[in-house]
Structure 1
Amino acid sequence: MKFSKYLLFFLIIPLFSFTLHKYYVSLCEIDYVEDQKAVQITLGLFIDDIETTLNKTHNTNFKIATKDELPNLDKYFEEYLNNHLNININNKLEKYTFIGKEYDDDVVRFYLEISNIEKLQTIEVTNTCLLKDFKDQQNIIKIYAYKKHKTFYLDKKNDNCLLKF
């Protein structure tokens, strides 16, 4: 009987190690909409990860996606994104407009847009979101333009990518 308890213990413990593993990843999708002359950006971050980062940075408790969320949270989101997500188009750093955000289960999606882009010749993305606080963070960038799709994987060692058309 004692042996079966130990056997059960050694069989169950490894299963817990798999369920406790956490992945640190974000997804940034960038679309050039030629007829609108606009670059549309959707960035998804895990709510608990961005909350951890903002709480550390501002020494507070933002309580993101709860009924106690701070009313001016978008200001902090915009500031963070402006400091950690840069888009160079045709060798020029472009400012994007913060359209808004939405919560989807455990992810917050940010919607951003850059207007008045007549022609897209190059796009360079630097994404350092969450890299400071999560050593295994990986930021995936998917770019769609002129019927071309390209995916980049960014991390602490390589936080930017360039696509030429």
Structure 2
Amino acid sequence: MKKTLILFLILPLLSFGVHKYYISLTEIAYKEKTKSVQMIMNVFMDDIETAINKDYKVNLQLTTKDELKKTDSLFFNYLNNHFKVKINSKKVNYRFIGKEYDGDIVYFYLEIENVLNPKSIEIENDVLVKYFPEQQNLVKVSLKEERKSLFLDKKNDKGLLKF
């Protein structure tokens, strides 16, 4: 009887396959006091590792003792190629401040300095789309008292927010 009961309880759980979500979140905030735009992007570690390994023909081995010493520069190069920002219709460069691993997520910390009176932010984000066509990149922007969002994917990887 116990075996039958366990079978009836477990069988429905096994009928559902594991679904992998492909999503990143980038939070962007303008800091009036420092005149800077601060960005935090989070992506799934295994996905970014796959993309960089394939694009740069390396083996990052993230979070292991054999992690490549040049991981930060590879991350920065990858982001520069796949995440672009324009403020007030002008392309701007950002600094790679660093990264942080948290479970299966990598957080990237980026900053744009000397930003005066931003009225629009344009984002181009095709991070991970090449290898994961279902990838969706959510961007949330806080500027002064306003909050706006963009939902970008393979078909639509650019968006403009006006404040």
Task: Provide TM-score, normalisation by structure 1.
Answer: 0.90
Q: Which moved more, 1:43-52 or 1:65-74?
A: 65-74
* C-alpha distance in 2 between matches for 1:40 and 1:59: 30
* Runs of 4+ off more than 6 Å: none
* C-alpha distance in 1 between matches for 2:59 and 2:160: 36
Alpha-carbon displacement from aligned partner over 1:105-155 (angstroms, at most 9, x marks no partner):
111111010011111011001101000000110000000001111121110
* C-alpha distance in 2 between matches for 1:163 and 1:50: 26
Alpha-carbon displacement from aligned partner over 1:55-86 (angstroms, at most 9, x marks no partner):
11122211112221001111100100000000
Aligned partner letter, 2:12? L
Q: Which secondary structure state, in structure 2, belongs to the residue aligned with residue 120 of structure 1?
A: coil
Q: Give the gaps of 5 or more residues in structure 1.
A: none
Q: Which secondary structure state, in structure 2, belongs to the residue aligned with residue 141 of structure 1?
A: strand
1:13-24 correspondence runs (5 A): 13-15=14-16, 17=17, 20-24=18-22
Deviation at 1:12, TM superposition (A): 4.7
Task: Provide TM-score, normalisation by structure 2.
Answer: 0.91
Higher helix fraction (1 or 2)? 1
Q: Give the gaps of 5 or more residues in structure 2.
A: none
* C-alpha distance in 2 between matches for 1:107 and 1:94: 26
After superposition, the CA RMSD in angstroms is 1.7
* C-alpha distance in 2 between matches for 1:71 and 1:96: 22
In structure 2, the partner of 1:152 is 150
1:62-77 correspondence runs (5 A): 62-77=60-75
Q: Which secondary structure state, in structure 1, belongs to the residue aligned with residue 54 of structure 2?
A: helix
Q: Answer yes or no: is 1:94 the counterpart of 2:95.
A: no
Deviation at 1:91, TM superposition (A): 0.6
* C-alpha distance in 2 between matches for 1:33 and 1:75: 26
1:81-160 correspondence runs (5 A): 81-160=79-158
* C-alpha distance in 2 between matches for 1:25 and 1:163: 20
